[in-house]
Amino acid sequence: MIHTWHVVANTVEIEWATTEQTPYLDVQTWTEVAGELTALVPEPERARLVIADNFARTVDAYARQAPYEYGGAGDAEPAYDPDKPDGARSGAKTIPLTDMTVIVVDAGAIALGALSVRRLLHHEAQHVRLRQHGDMAWALHRRGPFTRPPGAIFAFVYVAQSLLDEYRCETALEPAVAHASAAMTVAPADFADIAAMFEAITDQYRSDGDLEAAFTSTLAGLDRLASFAAYATATIVRGEQTRAEWAAVEPVMIALDELRAVPSAAATMPQEDLAETVQRLATKAGLMAVSVGFRIEVDEDADQTSFFLLNV
């Protein structure tokens, strides 16, 4: 019997969830940028890049394989929707499986050009890094002891986790990679779309009086606001924009100092610091909601949540 030894390269594996008909498949660009991921993650052999021509469906398929504590099969998460309420669209999503972290990327993102694809994947690589360092804020309340700050609805904890992870990923980006794609970097003028999204919620409530629908839309809007504020703060830290340029964008100012005190995804944070930062950011999330016109309060004694539209 002949044994052949294969040296398995320590690289991020690529999976093509595409068909021959995928018209925009630029194999060379994808392969080149995917090759860079290997140097960006601590354990490349436990990471996979999935290039998908049906992005939402592929994300859902992987999300169902995620362990329970991350929101998997037992958790009945809603189907993934890459379209955000302000009209933005996600091009990639990182999903932690049991012993593997998967980045699913929309094959259509190639239309943005190689520099934007690079920026997109370098950002996702930082999510892989957080996960492999055991350092994600996302779902930390399911992985260990966590106390929700009194008065803050649980949705604020999710907003806080998103603020923290997105900020740490964005600040770990090499500035040259970030600078090279203006299309994927936020600027103060972009806040107009976020503000308009919240104004539309109030307008809708004025016309239909549906408080429940307004509440649901507000939570979805806050989720979008969290990643916007995290990206915005990172532009200040990376030296692209100044604090003064962002001064008029109140939710960014609310989160700024708390986020700036946190290390990028390149460094690890002790679990207690991570949990305490999430608690403080959850309180900030409530202030961010007020700054865009909504107050959400939890009465701990009565175990009751109140929702106020401040601009009606």
Sketch the per residue contact string, 38 through 67, with Zn ion: x for CB under 5 A, - otherwise.
------------------------------
In angstroms, rounded to a whole number, what is the distance separating the alpha carbons of residues 186 and 32?
Answer: 26
Q: Residue 169 CB, nearest distance to Zn ion (Å)?
A: 5
Question: Minimum Å distance from CB 236 to Zn ion?
Answer: 18
In one-letter notation, the amino acid at residue 120 is L
Least distance between Zn ion and beta carbon 202 (Å)? 28
**What minimum distance in Å lies between the beta carbon of 127 and Zn ion?**
6
Token pair for residue 130?
Answer: 């957080």
Q: How far is the CB of 128 from Zn ion (least distance, A)?
A: 11
CB of 227 to Zn ion, least distance (A): 7
Query: Minimum distance from CB of 234 to Zn ion (Å)?
Result: 11
| Contact criterion met (CB below 8 Å) for 232 and 245 | no
Query: DSSP assignment, residue 144?
Result: S
In the complex with Zn ion, the residue whose CB is nearer, 262 or 296, is 262
What is the signed CA dihedral for 147, 150, 153, 155, rounded to 10 degrees? Answer: -40
Do the beta carbons of residue 17 and residue 51 sit within 8 Å? yes
Q: How far is the CB of 166 from Zn ion (least distance, A)?
A: 5
Q: Which alpha helices (DSSP H) does the chain contain, by range?
A: 27-37, 55-63, 114-132, 140-143, 154-172, 175-179, 191-208, 211-237, 243-246, 250-260, 271-291
> Which among 166-174, 248-256, 272-280, 298-306 is the span making contact with Zn ion, rule CB under 5 A?
166-174
What tokens appear for 110 in the block?
Answer: 């190639």
Nearer to Zn ion, 48 or 168 (CB): 168
Q: Which is nearer to Zn ion, 135 or 166 (CB)?
A: 166
How many positions of this chain bind Zn ion (CB under 5 A)? 1
DSSP secondary structure string, 199-253?
Answer: HHHHHHHHHH--HHHHHHHHHHHHHHHHHHHHHHHHHHHTTSS-HHHHTT-HHHH
Which span sits near Zn ion by CB under 5 A: 16-24, 163-171, 187-195, 233-241?
A: 163-171
Q: Near Zn ion by CB under 5 A, which window of 1-9, 160-168, 248-256, 288-296?
A: 160-168
7-15, 26-34, 37-45, 164-172 -> range binding Zn ion (CB under 5 A): 164-172
Nearer to Zn ion, 230 or 298 (CB): 230
**Which residues ranging from 237 to 266 are in contact with Zn ion (CB under 5 A)?**
none
41/201 with CB nearer Zn ion: 41
* Cα separation values, 196 from 91, 187, 202, 283, Å: 22, 16, 10, 24
Please list every residue from 65 through 124 that binds Zn ion, using CB under 5 A: none
Q: State in Å, rounded, how far the first CA of the chain is from the last one.
A: 80
Q: Which is nearer to Zn ion, 180 or 290 (CB)?
A: 180
Which residue, 137 or 214, has its beta carbon nearer to Zn ion? 137
How far apart are the C-alpha atoms of 125 and 30, rounded to whole Å? Answer: 14
Q: Which residue is nearest to Zn ion (CB)?
A: 166
Instruction: List interacting residues with Zn ion (CB under 5 A).
Output: 166
